Amino acid sequence: MIDVLPDSTSIDPVALADSIRVLSARINEAKATSLFTTNNVWMILSTALVFIMSLGFSCVESGFTQAKNTVNILFKNTVDTAIGIVVFALFGFAIMYPGTFNGWFGFAGFGLNTPEDYDPISYASGHYTYWTDFLFQAVFCATAATIVSGAVAERIKISAYFIFTLFLTGLIYPILGSWKWGGGWLNDYGFYDFAGSTIVHSVGGWAALAGAIIVGPRLGKYDNGTPKTFANSSVPLAVIGVFLLWLGWFGFNGGSVLSADPETISLVCVTTALAACTGALGALVGGLIAFKRLDLGMVLNGILAGLVGITAGADQMSPNEALLIGLVCGLVVVFAVIFFDKVKIDDPVGAIAVHLVCGIIGTLAVGVLGKMAGFDQLIKQAVGILAYGGGAFVGSLLVFFILNKIMKGGIRVSAEHEKEGLDSHEHGMRGYTITYEE
């Protein structure tokens, strides 16, 4: 037999150890690069899913409002997405994530600029690049802006709406977001909001409430004491919109894991789906109780209510707790819609009930259910809700109030334009042009 092993005396132990260290370093580098690529791809995919939610909002809002205002709704949802992302790039991102700051307000400089000594892999512990970080947060910002659109639909001047969008996406949302996600005072305090039941949805809901108050109800909505129901332009389109939003929410919540961690993403997607399902069932029951009918509109809002409710603690809840949160939000949203009608706050799509009310419920749920449940945490959640409510509502109300004072004729379209529809007067085209011969 021939001995194929080299003579042990010919091996240099130092050289062998060096070779092993080099090989080990290369293996670890390859692993880190592979994991970084996987993480970043998931975050980009999540960003795309959140981005498509703008289309979902467009479909829901245009489907639930009158046909004569369809182009106006679609125009607002298209352009506010563009405004939101551009403004967030110019200065919103630098306000929301300023680095070291006093916990209340900071600014890292205009434009998108990678940090000094930027290394893509080490930027976020190998989870995503600087560019992915910006884009994921930018589509969240655009989502908060488009929540307002539905609540002020069919009677606000489009110029006033876009000016408000500039303030919301450039100042209000980034400043408030920095308090928690930017490492500000609420983060230090212990307030928890996994994916934005409060930071995104309640902020958008408070802004929507401020806008609805200043612009007032649609003509004829409350003339006879009983709220008038206006004809929806397309119920099928509203259904499509809700399912697009549901799909996008898997990126909204799943991407908020901020990595491709398989166990956490899987749990978050399960709790998200379950809350949406029981949200639908809760609203179905609520519709039967309130209206004695199977109300599709309420079921659709119930799905969204469940999704908003689970967003604050999607990573903290068990499947059973997610079922409960969705059910409660689905029931509550029905009576929240009724309440706002009773106090004559006209919200054509139920955005305030869905995003504000259920955002509050979901945020409080973190202190009542799940891994973080406890009285101390419940107090922290309540403080966060009050802080964001005060900041978002007062800030938005101030902007709308000033616009209403300085704009000629206020922020509301003329009675003539409202009666005839905004499409023909603001855009010179109609959303639906199907005609039938006699």
Q: pLDDT tens-digit profile of 244-277?
A: 999 999 999 999 999 999 999 999 999 999 999 9
pLDDT greater than 70 at residue 9: no
pLDDT of 148 over the 70 cut: yes
| pLDDT tens-digit map of 291-346 | 999 999 999 999 999 999 999 999 999 999 999 999 999 999 999 999 999 999 99
The single-letter code of the amino acid at 48 is A
Over 80: is that where the pLDDT of 31 sits? Answer: no
Region 206-214: mean pLDDT is 97
Q: Is the pLDDT of residue 23 over 80?
A: no
Mind listing the pLDDT tens digit for each residue in 91-122? 999 999 998 899 999 999 999 988 888 888 88
Average pLDDT in the 395-402 region?
97
- pLDDT score of 225: 78
Return the percentage of the chain with pLDDT > 90, whole number: 81
Whether the predicted pLDDT of 1 surpasses 80:
no
Q: What is the pLDDT of residue 436?
A: 45
Predicted confidence at residue 6, as pLDDT, reads: 52
Q: Which residues, listed in sequence order, are joined to residue 156 by a DSSP beta bridge?
A: 412
| CATH class of the domain comprising 16-427 | mainly alpha
Tens of pLDDT, residues 413-428: 999 999 999 998 888 8
pLDDT number for residue 34? 82
pLDDT at 202 over 60: yes
Is the per-residue pLDDT at 3 higher than 60?
Answer: no
